[in-house]
Amino acid sequence: MKHSMCGWRARIGLLTPPNYCIISEWGDVIPEGVVLVPALMGLGDATPEGLKEMRQWAVSESKKLADWEVDIILFGCTSGSFVGGAGYDEDIIAEVEEAVGIPTTTTTTCVLTALDDLGMKKIALLGPYLEEVFDLEVEFFKAHGVEIRFVKALGYREVHDFVHLYEQPYLFYHAAKEAHQSAEDVDAIFITCMASPALALINTLERETGKPVFSSCSASLYGVMKKLGIREPIEKYGTLGKRLGEG
């Protein structure tokens, strides 16, 4: 594939509901020569029903990304890729790849890859979702052999609230500290949801808790870069970011 100087190394197609966070975070750390090409998926309320409906946008928006000759497509929504249970992320991948012929992954798939590569089996889980969405996430991880020892649900439902989460990193800092105090035996702390800000927090939290801390954004970048074969450390993303440079 011939690339212009913009994205001469790789182009990542991003399927996402409204989300400033990933654009901001990845813009600060994405490797040189890699560009992000976003496509917007519609989302009503962040309920299990609304999250399942979002999938209907995946193929049509992926076809638009194909016009940009992207090298990989990320279904960039954590809850939107686990809400249907174990295997739901794989179904989305198969559906998009069949439609556009471009390698595809999902945020949840990337999280599972990160957990496997780091050997993490017990995690604390925190994020903005409703409790009923977290219940589905806990069951998804359980089906993949991952034990959840702590859950902190902020209880957000409306898309507007998710859009503005990037302005409130302190919410996730304090939730992560609570997670560490409540479940000191976990292998790692996971900040779920692609709208959850973590770039400014991860290294600080790792120093203060002594635990690996990763997020949907950091795990997604890890998974995408691994699939692209681009192995460079991303220092701002803590243990997982450093692992990316280990080959």
Mind listing the pLDDT tens digit for each residue in 123-169? 999 999 999 999 999 999 999 999 999 999 998 887 777 877 888 89
67 and 42: one domain? Answer: yes
> Do 65 and 136 reside in the same domain of the chain?
no
Instruction: Please state whether 101 falls in left (phi above 0), alpha (psi between -120 and 50) or beta.
Output: left
Total domains in the chain come to 2
Judgement on whether residues 177 and 210 belong to the same structural domain of the protein:
yes
- State the pLDDT at residue 33: 96
**132 and 102, same structural domain?**
no
Calpha distance 101→225 (Å, rounded):
19
50 with 102, same domain: the answer is yes
Joined tokens for residue 215:
């997020």
Output the domain CATH number for residue 180.
3.40.50.1860
**Owning domain of residue 72:** 10-109+218-233
pLDDT tens-digit profile, the chain (247 residues): 444 467 899 999 999 998 889 999 999 999 999 999 999 998 778 899 999 999 999 999 999 999 999 999 999 999 999 999 999 999 999 999 999 999 999 999 999 999 999 999 999 999 999 999 999 999 999 999 999 999 999 988 877 778 778 888 999 999 999 999 999 999 999 999 999 999 999 999 999 999 999 999 999 999 999 999 999 999 999 999 999 988 6
Q: How far is it, in rounded angstroms, from Cα 124 to Cα 132?
A: 17
- Does 18 lie in the same domain as 59? yes
Question: What's the rounded Cα separation, in Å, for the pair 66 and 73?
Answer: 9
Q: Is residue 120 part of a domain?
A: yes
For residues 140 and 155, state if they share a domain: yes
Is the pTM for the entire model greater than 0.85?
yes
What is the CATH classification number for the domain harbouring 88? 3.40.50.12500
For residue 5, being part of any structural domain is answered with no
